[in-house]
Chain A
Amino acid sequence: MSTLVAPRPQGTRRPNTWGFGGSLLLGVACLVVFLPFLWVLLGSFKTGSQLNDPTLITFHPNLANWRDVIDSGILQAAGRSALVGIITVSISVVIGSMGAYSISRYKTGGSATRFGILAAQVLPPAVLVFPFLDMAFRLRINDTLAVVVIAHLSFVMPVVTWFLIGFFDAAPKEIEEQAMVDGLSRFAAFRKVVLPQVAPGIGASAIFGFVLSWNDLFYALILAPGNAATLPVRIAGFNTFRGVELGSMCAAILVSIVPVLIASFFIQRRLVRGISGGAVKF
């Protein structure tokens, strides 16, 4: 992607054009964002009574919440969520990239498809969930990961496709034409020459799609509330008839945040390039 900003050579620093006021503003913004995280982090080490005492500053941390959460099978639920996310994203990227290529190069479906593909996002999930539930019962796949994957595909795939259209628009057409003259079929040119050019976009859209799937509560709760419950469903389970188990919930929330943070950290540069690279074209 030579049109995008080239990485700066190491050892050079951009001059600080923000100055003190800018740094202060950023500091305040960080505080606003991070304070709830800090509260959740501390909360996961507090007992129930300590959590209900807002004046409490110092306390003896205890691991009871974490023990409860782990015993409740939250890690298995996280594993199921990861599995659902990975399968959903894999299918979405393979099919979405081909769809996006087709829409970008052949104007498949006319200009309406370009944005119309997102139309399903406008519908409340409740409209779609009952047909899904009915289908799941008939096929006897209710309360399985399969039906969750199918439901997640309904919103992850359009988003991934839409996201990638801009990347294919930005990839010069001549390069794949060159590859075709140089001896590749159209599909081989797509695979070997076009896809590498949109790799940042695929990485960014994959993470984006994974987070959408990972965070979904609504479909998972209705389609697979039992043995196949995903992480958000389990977290919601801490809202019991005896009230919200805040401590355990704090620990469970952290379990759900950490993988997303780690993934974002490793591809943050690609993510930024991806989002800006795609955004320019819309």
Chain B
Amino acid sequence: MTAVHLKKVVKKYGEVGAVHGIDLELQDGKFTVLVGPSGCGKTTTLRMIAGLETVTDGKIFVGDLDVTDLEPKDRDVSMVFQNYALYPHLTVAENIAFPLMARGAKRSDVQGRIEEVAAALEITPLLGRKPKELSGGQQQRVAIGRAIVRQPKVFLFDEPLSNLDAKLRVEMRTELLRLQRQLGTTAVYVTHDQEEAMTLSDVMVVMRDGVICQQGKPVEVYEHPVDTFVASFVGSPKMNLIKGVIDHGSFTFAGGAHLPIESSHFGETTLGVRPEDVILSVGGDEGIGGIVEIIELLGPRAIVALKIRGTSLTAVVEAAGLTGISEGVEVRVRFRESKLHLFGPDGRRSG
């Protein structure tokens, strides 16, 4: 079943378009992440679902209800903002109770529910405090508590973790996912961090310049990016994109190196290869020769920066496979053939 449906939604600020007619169906109970660089229209899209931005053209449905012209309060959604947006003049308990009481519930009726939510988020001891007396992580928990207290149809998250430090961010990410699974509520999450998008999403929607480039399961997007933008945006370190020409089963680098390739394509092509699909070896004459420039050891794995006749390349290698490889050494470079991506001159996937 569809929980949220955007039909040809357009947003313009004066003459400037921010979102150019996107179609998006969010499945019930799924965690959907909108991801893209800043200015891609992801936050605008989220705010249009919330009702905080008017829709220039198109329609938005929550369930079967056309909410395009409804006020935010009538859309049955809840939202967590990047800066948490806690009510500074209210205590934690009052903050959490707010969505219930704003809809006419009495304080005595909601007490049990507040305690339940506080217990789930482990913030019971903080209920009497004011937001300014809380740490960033605690404020975040209160904001999430306020979002889940009412059991809305959809949760909306606008980069809720980006104000936290790295360690806390990973912790909260797991917790958020656990909570969403537990409640089974549809969630829409906006982030510019592709790693966050990969780990959180059931469905990943990659946006750029106000249009959707690709949507699908994270693993699909990762393994079959539709164009060079998605290919380089998703995954860390970034996918290697090598410009060259294909002719009779051979790919010729801009620098002149040749690579045999099984492809029926001809002409200008960008070859995409993920760093983990670059295989390095020392000695022998397999593959093509390259010079190791820098090795960054990350513990179990290492990122190796290479140059092949002027073309830069990144490889990710198991630390155990680094034997004989050091900075300045010449290595043989091969690509895992089943994992190669080919993109045409327009940047679209061709094979």
**Chain A interface residues toward B at CB < 8 A:** 1-2, 6, 172, 174-175, 177-186, 188, 193, 196-197, 199
Q: Complex: how many Å from CA A174 to CA B79?
A: 10
B87 and A179 contact, CB distance less than 8 A = yes
Q: Min CB distance, B351 to chain A, in Å?
A: 45
Q: Which of B58-105 contact A (CB under 8 A)?
A: 71-73, 75, 77-79, 81-83, 85-89, 98-99, 102-103
B81 and A177 contact, CB distance less than 8 A = yes
Q: Complex: how many Å from CA A235 to CA B25?
A: 75
Q: Min CB distance, A194 to chain B, in Å?
A: 10
**Chain B interface residues toward A at CB < 8 A:** 50-52, 71-73, 75, 77-79, 81-83, 85-89, 98-99, 102-103, 131-132, 146, 156
Q: Min CB distance, B189 to chain A, in Å?
A: 15
Specify which chain A residues have a CB less than 8 angstroms from the CB of B77 in the assembled complex. 181
Query: What is the total of A-B residue contacts with beta carbons within 8 Å?
Result: 65
Specify which chain B residues have a CB less than 8 angstroms from the CB of A184 in the assembled complex. 73, 102
Given contacts A172-B83, A174-B81, contact A182 B89 (CB under 8 A): no
B71 and A182 contact, CB distance less than 8 A = no
A182 and B146 contact, CB distance less than 8 A = yes
Which of A1, A177, A197 has the most B CB atoms < 10 Å from its CB?
A177
B52 and A182 contact, CB distance less than 8 A = no
B83 and A181 contact, CB distance less than 8 A = no
Contact among B73, B82, B88, B89 with A181 in the assembled complex (CB-CB below 8 Å): B73
B132 and A193 contact, CB distance less than 8 A = no
Specify which chain A residues have a CB less than 8 angstroms from the CB of B132 in the assembled complex. 2, 6
Given contacts A2-B132, A179-B87, A197-B88, contact A185 B81 (CB under 8 A): no
Task: List 26 A-B residue pairs with CB atoms under 8 Å apart, sorted by A's residue number.
Answer: A2-B88, A2-B131, A2-B132, A6-B132, A172-B85, A174-B85, A175-B87, A175-B88, A178-B79, A178-B81, A179-B98, A180-B52, A180-B72, A181-B50, A181-B51, A181-B52, A181-B73, A181-B75, A181-B77, A181-B156, A182-B98, A182-B99, A183-B73, A185-B71, A193-B87, A196-B89
Specify which chain B residues have a CB less than 8 angstroms from the CB of A174 in the assembled complex. 81-83, 85
Specify which chain A residues have a CB less than 8 angstroms from the CB of B51 in the assembled complex. 180-181
Q: Min CB distance, A39 to chain B, in Å?
A: 45
Specify which chain B residues have a CB less than 8 angstroms from the CB of A185 in the assembled complex. 71, 73
Specify which chain B residues have a CB less than 8 angstroms from the CB of A182 in the assembled complex. 73, 78, 98-99, 102, 146
Q: Complex: how many Å from CA A199 to CA B131?
A: 17
A180 and B71 contact, CB distance less than 8 A = yes
Q: Complex: how many Å from CA A174 to CA B86?
A: 9
Specify which chain B residues have a CB less than 8 angstroms from the CB of A183 in the assembled complex. 73, 98-99, 102-103
B81 and A179 contact, CB distance less than 8 A = no
